[in-house]
Amino acid sequence: MPKPSSSSSNFAMKKCYRQENNVDADCSCCHLKEKQEETDAEDQISRLPNDVLVLILSHLPMKDAAKTNILSRRWRYLWTFFTGTLDFDASLTLEELRFPLGSGNLNSLREERLRFVRWVDQVLGLHQALTVDGLRIIFDVGYECDVDNWVKFALDKKVQKLELDFTDLRMADYSELYAFPSHLFENSNPSSLTALHLKRVNVTGGTLECLLSHCPFLEVLSVKNSSSLLSLNIWGPTLKLKYLEIWGCRNFEKLEISAVNLLSFSYRGPEVVHFKHVPQLLELSVAGSFFKVVVDKLFKHLSFLSQLKTLNLHFTGPLKLIMTGPQQFPELNNLKYLELKVSLLEFGDLFLLAPLLRASPSLHKLTLLRCHLETYRL
């Protein structure tokens, strides 16, 4: 056998200072060894196939996934195959611009709009995956961007969750809001959609009814501050809708609900709601003038109230205006959580709740909140 060279023997017998003296001190050989181990660990990740790396990236927030493009040439475009939620949430920037919104901040808003629109257009233009789980766009985008193209992108990518929140810092007239496009459904199939959230987006009842009929898996529908929504008929034997929220649609005239799978309904608006068939409804949240309707009429005539587990009642007025005189409430045997939010709450008002509390023998939690009137502006 060949004898090992003296240099290799010397190296094999050589001990580092930290090992020989059993102390925690830095030395060059141990530092190099640790560095080599870190490099080996990095190499293990790099040896993974691209589809596995893309799967890992798709479980990260979109911004973090995009930052990996600086790692190496191989990583440069991996993030463009991201299949998670494309999240363009700039609500924090909106809050920074909100107060005060003077002429200087209006200029800043225009600059932020341009920057935001470029960001969205660039990411959507580079995206290469066939599908994407979700698309969230939250900003005051103004009127100089192609939102139709963003919605078409979502439909073409078979998005499951779509959220458009175009909160307007200037509180412009409702007629100036972006109109959700029904014509895009002619060439794109929205059947993969499971959740749709629209805020300060004009959408008609006909468009929503068309969506419900073409989206067999739609479970969540939320519409806030739409002036185009005049009437809506929710029905269908195959309807999967579980969560419905209609909030602040000032021109609303009629809402009929017949949804066998509906679990939660949240509403603020005029007194135009008609419950046809909601056998699974467990959570009801109402606000505004519809609050008094619930107390005065619906409590006495709706059979589904006995199955409720959560009830939230919000009213922009003192409690004594709606809880007047002896109230007869139906038995709410399953009610566990009750929340009352009013603009004026006095100590004596607690006695007004006694009939409601007696009708709720299983109540676990009662929450009383005082709100400001401006909280409920449309």
Domain 83-281 CATH class label: alpha beta
Q: What is the pLDDT of residue 160?
A: 96
Name the residue type at position 182: S
Beta bridge pairs of residue 141: none
Encoded tokens for 82: 């991201």
Tokens 């109540």 belong to residue: 363
Q: What is the pLDDT of residue 353?
A: 78
Q: What is the pLDDT of residue 78?
A: 86
Torsion of CA 67, 70, 71, 73, to 10 degrees: 130
Encoded tokens for 22: 């059993």
Gap between the Cα atoms of 268 and 287, Å rounded: 5
Residues 261-285 pLDDT 10s = 999 999 988 888 888 899 999 999 9
What is each CA distance from 92 to 64, 89, 139, 140, 181, in whole angstroms?
Answer: 18, 8, 9, 12, 28
N-term to C-term CA, the chain: 91
Gap between the Cα atoms of 262 and 244, Å rounded: 8
Name the residue type at position 118: R
Beta bridge pairs of residue 315: 342
Torsion of CA 330, 333, 338, 342, to 10 degrees: 10
Q: What is the pLDDT of residue 31?
A: 54
Gap between the Cα atoms of 281 and 242, Å rounded: 9
Gap between the Cα atoms of 6 and 71, Å rounded: 41
- Helix, strand, coil % in the chain, rounded to nearest 5: 40, 20, 40
| pLDDT < 70: residue spans in the chain | 1-43, 99-105, 170-175, 186, 289-303, 317-328, 344-349, 372-378
Q: What is the pLDDT of residue 150?
A: 95
Gap between the Cα atoms of 268 and 32, Å rounded: 65
Gap between the Cα atoms of 92 and 138, Å rounded: 10
Q: Let me know the angle formed at the C-alpha of 171 by 169 and 174, rounded to the nearest 5 degrees.
A: 135
Gap between the Cα atoms of 91 and 226, Å rounded: 20
Helix/strand/coil for 350: helix
